[in-house]
Amino acid sequence: MRALATDPQARGLQDDAAVLRFGTESLILTHDTLVQGVHVRADERAEDIAWKLVAVNLSDLAAKGAEPIGVLVSHMLGEGDEAFARGLAEILSEYDVPLLGGDTVRAEGRRIWGCTAIGRATHLPVPARSGAQHGDAVYVTGTLGMAMVGMAERDTKSAEDMAYRRPRPLLREGHALAPYVTAMMDVSDGLLLDCWRLAEASECMIALEKDGVPLADRGRADACMRWGDDYQLLFTVPPDLELPVPAFRIGTVSASPRPALLLDGEYLSPKDGLGYQH
């Protein structure tokens, strides 16, 4: 499909969202899909599915430093429709985001939900995965592996359980960081894979130090960095910058003739199973 996305506003389908210029404004558009038994547990509660569906899209807006304008939701009708509506109302109220439209369908088989989120850029240029520069520091906003640990729990309401069932998009952090970052994206498919994607988009090398990475379970460090579903912000900034939000320095950007990722000095590539891929 990348061959079809020739409009520059699509950013080559290598970014978290499309960026459309309208006079002095820039609109940010993103779309994500959840599939039952793939992105959420087969027996997931409908209200939690609704929350996560919107949250993962708002997280993409956060990675652009965008202010949400609204969402459009596609819902596959079936058991739990009223609970889905309740969960949808909860997250829309929590983040003051209007529902602008969407679609409902009925079909047999595995259930599927989709959401398109629309935002307004708060800073220009709009942050991208590309742009990381030689000498930049690599940061992440919070602990990785929380959702991985939480998926094994059920309705405990622990921090880990809530990280999995009800992730919180970091819109305020993204807004604050947008004027300072050279590159930024959210961590959805695992830190290692998303670092590789950032290195690929920026045509650079990223060297990570495992000891600097905040992890939910140090005994399962590799799994925490590969599992995903964290929705923390991964970004690069000049090395001496005083950050406007709390974050953890986890690595350094270096010039490279080709994209590269190092973990404690060891080269990694996507064929090493860096994270979640379809």
Residues 6+ apart with CB under 8 A from 264: 208, 209, 210
pLDDT tens-digit map of 230-253: 999 999 999 999 999 999 999 999
On whether both 168 and 91 belong to a single domain, the answer is no
Is the pLDDT at 211 greater than 70? The verdict is yes
Of 82, 97, 121, which marks where a domain is finished?
121
On whether both 65 and 33 belong to a single domain, the answer is yes
Boundaries of domain holding 193: 137-272
Number of domains within the chain: 2
| Residue 74: C-alpha distances to residues 4, 32, 88, 93, 200 (Å) | 24, 10, 12, 18, 32
The answer to the question of residue 52 being in a domain is yes
Kindly report the CATH number assigned to the domain that includes residue 237. Answer: 3.90.650.10
On whether both 117 and 162 belong to a single domain, the answer is no
| Helix/strand/coil for 254 | strand
On whether both 142 and 116 belong to a single domain, the answer is no
Confidence class for position 8, pLDDT limits 50, 70, 90: confident
Read off the amino acid at residue 158.
S
Confidence class for position 102, pLDDT limits 50, 70, 90: very high
pLDDT tens-digit map of 65-98: 999 999 999 999 999 999 999 999 999 999 999 9
**Tokens 């430093």 — which residue?**
65
The phi and psi torsions of 252 (rounded to 5 degrees) equal: -140, 150
On whether both 81 and 169 belong to a single domain, the answer is no
Is the pLDDT at 207 greater than 80? The verdict is yes
Distance, in Å, from the CA atom of 237 to the CA atom of 239, rounded to the nearest integer, reads 6
The answer to the question of residue 126 being in a domain is no
On whether both 183 and 155 belong to a single domain, the answer is yes
Read off the pLDDT of each residue in 29-53 and give the average, rounded to a whole number: 92
Question: Quick one: pLDDT at residue 37?
Answer: 85
| Residue 57: C-alpha distances to residues 64, 66, 173, 195, 239 (Å) | 11, 11, 15, 19, 30
The answer to the question of residue 169 being in a domain is yes
The answer to the question of residue 181 being in a domain is yes
On whether both 252 and 153 belong to a single domain, the answer is yes
Per the CB < 8 A criterion, the answer to whether 204 and 254 are in contact is: yes
